[in-house]
Amino acid sequence: QVQLVESGGGSVQAGGSLRLSCAASGFRYSGKCMGWFRQAPGKEREGVAAIDTGGGRTYYADSVKGRFTISQGNAKNTVNLQMNSLKPEDTAMYYCAAEMDCSTVGWKLGANYWGQGTQVTVSS
């Protein structure tokens, strides 16, 4: 019943933009964060951004702050990630995540639910 579906990945040139979207269903949203993680081959999984689905507070990794913007979509069960000024270092598989801790350190640790991932490739 729990399902997270990502879309919007693709290949862009450095400096370009992409907008990722995630549609989620089958679980409770209020009081928890939803967000995005990414992982490149041979690298650790990294929390990218999160948003409190109850209060709207946002969290960002230092590596993307000022370039990426997370927001809720048309409904509480949707979340978007606007990625601007993309760099080759942003190349990774991006995963939508749900039921993340809504705290300064906790949001980066993981999530209870995961999407299947969408590939983002940024070329030089």
10-residue mean pLDDT series, the chain (124 residues): 93 98 81 92 97 92 98 85 98 96 94 96 97
- Nearest-angstrom CA–CA distance, 49 and 71: 10
- Nearest-angstrom CA–CA distance, 112 and 121: 26
- pLDDT at position 28 is 66
- Nearest-angstrom CA–CA distance, 103 and 101: 6
Cβ-contact 77, 29 below 8 angstroms? yes
Strand pairing class (10-13; 118-123):
parallel
- pLDDT at position 29 is 61
- pLDDT at position 123 is 98
- pLDDT at position 113 is 93
φ and ψ at residue 90, rounded to 5 degrees:
-80, -10
